[in-house]
Amino acid sequence: MTFSKKQISKEQVFEQAKQQKLWAGHLIDHKNLSTATLDNITPIDNSIIGQIASGTSDDVDIAVQIARDSFENGEWRRLAPAERKAIMQRWCALMHEHFEELAALDCVDAGKPITECLNTDMPATIETFEWYAEAADKVFGKVAPTGSAALGLIVQEPIGVVGAVLPWNFPAQMYAWKVAPALIMGNSVIVKPAELTSLSAYRLTELAYEAGVPKSALQMVCGLGENVGAALGQHRDVDMVSFTGSTEVGRLFLQYSAQSNLKEIVLECGGKSPQIVFDDAVLDDAAINDILSAAFWNMSENCSCGSRLLVHSSQKESLLDKLKDGLKEWKVGSPYDVDTAIGPMIEKAHFDKVCHYLQTAKDEGATLVAGGSIREDLGSGWYVEPTIFDNVSADMTLFKEEVFGPLLAVTSFESEDEAVKLANETNFGLAASFYTQNIKRAYRVASAIKAGTVSINGFSEGDITTPFGGYKQSGFGGRDNGLEALSQYTQTKTVWLVN
């Protein structure tokens, strides 16, 4: 379905969001749950907008027991795939009905510009659910080429109890990426949203129940990572955890698994993605727009952010001029304003981290080309201007570490080999984009770059039909999106029927 470009006013954002009381609690059908809460602070103006539940390992134990019982009883798993599809489609219809409210929740909770929530995040969230709902009754097994002695069936069974541990940068969308494929395959899912952004996950789960998803098949436990996330990772009766977040915490999940029941772990982690502008690149408005979007979209709080710009020396001057010019369109301001492109950093601690990288880049000798200021005049004061540093060498911190904030590192090169070497000179490998008119170079470079998604002459993460995930320390164990994502939520069984 296509979505017309939507706008709502600040008053409407508040009105929509407030209807939900700005509360997110555990969604576990049980009486004896913990009652502790955490303040929910909006990064927009640093005010407390509500509370979220702060769960414990006991809450996780209860949720896992319910999920296990549900899985074994088959309340969801044994429904015909077409029945699961019908329920998922009812859920999608409810998401359409509550579209503006869901967008408003992500805006208020994460400080994402409302225009983005309305025109990117929520459409992508619903498209993900619709696509997987449609796929629910189209997943086939295989028959092995056994000859006449036996019939060998290769079947995909749901893996069981799945923990979905989510980041804060695309709250509704990351929920969709995990929950939709896990549910259509018949698993019992326990969602743990990021503690900074639990509101849309709470509302989406409530809508799931309204659509007919059993409460035992989809639950939510709110709270801190070191409590709820760790308890899911360490639980001996959780069969799989699908995690999106930092590489640092991703590593912990591998340890949790090794120390508990060897549960399957799929990690979607951080990045330090290159954008390469070759000497033959056409730097028209569309290219400039895409380079800036790769670098600064979502305040650069984006795992596939193109935070390293590698440019052939012959193009550098003209490119930097065009980028500076293009940046005038990137208004820093309140997420409630429909023309805002850059909102605040998600929280004070993260803002401090970004400021540290800003200072380090200056201290290490990078040349400030654009931006570089903090907008203390705005709301919370956690607003950072989109910033470009030139002359960033491969040994500088800004070249190596994921900032997750709007700092773009520019490095020049002289040859294709040098560009590819620089592009791959990172521990990450999530995404890359490059610009060239040479078709042979396009194929050569796309093959040489070690990243899960490579886009040519534009910035893209692909869409719901294409798998998304990382090489090297950007990921582990599987992919989100596309039909490829389904394999992380299933086990393969051979059924050997002797003639």
Could you tell me which stretch among 115-123, 262-270, 381-389, 415-423 binds ligand NAD (CB under 6 A)? 262-270
92, 303, 305, 347: the catalytic one is 303
Stretch of 60-68, 128-136, 166-174, 205-213 lying at the interface with ligand NAD (CB under 6 A): 166-174
Q: Which of residues 375-414 bind ligand NAD (CB under 6 A)?
A: 402, 404
Residue closer to ligand NAD, measured from CB, 152 or 462: 462
Q: How far is CA 112 from CA 181, 333, 348, in A?
A: 25, 11, 15
For residue 213, the Cα-to-chain-centroid distance in whole angstroms is 24
Among 63, 184, 269, 464, which residue interacts with ligand NAD (rule: CB under 6 A)?
A: 269
Looking at the Cβ atoms of 422 and 430, the one nearer to ligand NAD is 430
CB of 323 to ligand NAD, least distance (A): 23
Which listed residue (160, 270, 326, 344) binds ligand NAD by CB under 6 A? 270
State the nearest-atom distance from the C-beta of 301 to ligand NAD, in Å: 7
Is 432 a residue that touches ligand NAD (CB under 6 A)? no
Is residue 430 a contact residue for ligand NAD (CB under 6 A)? yes
What's the one-letter identity of residue 214? Answer: P
Do the beta carbons of residue 305 and residue 459 sit within 8 Å? no
> HEC states along 401-436?
CCCCCCEEEEEEECCHHHHHHHHHCCCCCCEEEEEC
HSE-up of residue 218 (Cα within 13 Å, Cβ side): 31
Q: Which of residues 100, 195, 347, 416 is near ligand NAD by CB under 6 A?
A: 195
- In the list 70, 156, 205, 244, the residue contacting ligand NAD (rule: CB under 6 A) is 244
> In angstroms, how far apart are the furthest CA atoms of the chain?
78
* 22-110-387 Cα angle (round to 5): 160
Residue of 79, 230, 299, 392 interacting with ligand NAD (CB under 6 A): 230
179 binds ligand NAD (CB under 6 A): no
Residue 179: partners with Cβ closer than 8 Å, 6 or more residues away: 164, 189, 191, 204, 218
Q: Would you say 42 and 109 are in contact if contact means Cβ atoms under 8 Å apart?
A: yes
Distances (CA, A) of 207 to 76, 106, 179, 215, 311: 17, 16, 13, 11, 47
CB atoms within 10 A of CB 32: 8
Q: How far apart are the first and last CA of the chain?
A: 48
Structure tokens of 417?
A: 């080999």
Which residue, 77 or 350, is less far from ligand NAD as judged by CB? Answer: 350
Query: Any contact of residue 226 with ligand NAD (CB under 6 A)?
Result: yes
Report the residue from 65, 246, 457, 491 that binds ligand NAD according to the rule CB under 6 A.
Answer: 246
Is residue 306 involved in binding ligand NAD (CB under 6 A)? no
Choosing from 268, 402, 416, 461, which is the catalytic residue?
268
Q: In terms of CB distance, is 214 or 245 closer to ligand NAD?
A: 245
Q: Give catalytic status of residue 268 as yes or no.
A: yes
Q: Cβ 302 to ligand NAD, closest distance in Å?
A: 7
The CA-atom distances, in angstroms, between 110 and each of 96, 107, 141, 468 are: 21, 6, 41, 23
Beta strand pairing call for 490-498 and 150-158: antiparallel
- CB of 45 vs ligand NAD, minimal distance in Å: 21
In the complex, the smallest distance separating the C-beta of residue 50 from ligand NAD, rounded to whole angstroms, is 18
Q: What CA–CA distance (Å, rounded) separates 221 from 55?
A: 6
Nearer Cβ to ligand NAD (245/406): 245
| Catalytic machinery residues | 268, 303
Binding positions for ligand NAD, rule: CB under 6 A: 165-169, 192, 194-195, 225-226, 229-230, 233, 244-246, 249, 252, 268-271, 303, 402, 404, 430, 470
